[in-house]
Amino acid sequence: MNSQLIAQVKQAANVKYIFCDYYDTVVHRRVHPLQPFKIWANLLMREMDLKTSINEIYKIRRASMRFLSGKTNVVESELSYDVVMREVYDRLVNSKAISSQIPFSAFLKHSYEADYQSESSVQYLNRKTVATLQSLKDQGYKIFCVSDFHSDEELLSRLTQFHGIGHLYDKIFVSAAQNASKENNGALFKRILEKEGISPAEVLMVGDNPISDVANAKLHGIEAYYLKRYRYKFRQKYQFFILYLSNLLKNR
């Protein structure tokens, strides 16, 4: 259990809500954060018999996100899942990787399930954080999961149920569903405060990103507890190098 976090919460007499990040706070991935997109591509290709390669499907998704981000002038984590998948579907149809006779609704359903299977296959819990949140929950604090994530609240809720921690959360907020993110000057914090009618003084944010979770929370008057995850960050850099090298070799 994180005794420092517990102590900070208790010292803040007005705090009633704990806003908590998800990735690298409550769960970690065994792979680089972009690797689940490759697993998704593999699952989708097999399920829908797509006439292309895993790497090409992966590149189409990444290119679609970059294109839509530039077109709409929003960060990628704020893009609606359905909008991104529509762009991916159209590009796959145009490249003849999928038949236009297959409706978008069927593609979206398979894509969504592939994303769930991909994410759930690479995640594991941070038991210390879970125990800390359980203690705070038992003491009567309301816990909101607040995540910059490329899908929606239902999928993240399914992931928490998969890990057996769904009971911890009173509500879940995801950037792609709210079209507002933590990384974009804390826009997601502002959205939640307004929707729920919560005062910033009643909230403590917990997360591992010094900008998105800490500095941007403070922009909206929310105090924050910074979880230092140096070991995990170092591992992510190594995993990114391996992913980059793999892509480079496949593109030769």
How far apart CA 153 and CA 132 sit, in angstroms, is 23
Q: What is the mean pLDDT of residues 61-88?
A: 98
In 3-state terms, what secondary structure has residue 119? helix
How far apart CA 109 and CA 200 sit, in angstroms, is 38
How high is the mean pLDDT of the chain?
93
Would you list the DSSP string of 139-189? Answer: TT-EEEEEE--SS-HHHHHHHHHHTT-GGG-SEEEEHHHHT--STTTTHHH
More confident residue, 233 or 126: 126
Residue carrying the six token digits 């790497």: 55
16's tokens:
């009633």
pLDDT given at position 1: 81
Give residue 178's region: left, alpha or beta (phi > 0; psi -120 to 50): alpha
pLDDT given at position 238: 46
Judge whether residue 7 has pLDDT over 50.
Answer: yes
How far apart CA 1 and CA 136 sit, in angstroms, is 11
Sign of CA dihedral 59, 60, 62, 67: positive
Domain boundaries, the chain: 3-31+126-233, 35-121
Q: What is the mean pLDDT of residues 4-8?
A: 92
Whether the full predicted model's pTM is greater than 0.85, yes or no, is yes
Q: What's domain 3-31+126-233's architecture?
A: 3-Layer(aba) Sandwich (3.40)
Residue 243 parent element (H or E) = helix 230-250
Judge whether residue 37 has pLDDT over 70.
Answer: yes
In 3-state terms, what secondary structure has residue 124? strand
Residues above pLDDT 90, as percent of the chain? 87
Residues 6+ apart with CB under 8 A from 212: 21, 148, 181, 182, 183, 186
pLDDT given at position 246: 58
Residue 106 parent element (H or E) = helix 104-122
Angle at 240 between CA 37 and CA 147, to 5 degrees: 55
pLDDT in tens, 212-246: 999 999 999 999 999 986 554 545 554 544 554 55
CA 55 to chain centre: 22
How far apart CA 208 and CA 219 sit, in angstroms, is 17
How far apart CA 108 and CA 229 sit, in angstroms, is 34
Q: What is the mean pLDDT of residues 60-67?
A: 98
Q: How confident is the model at residue 249 (pLDDT cuts 50, 70, 90)?
A: low
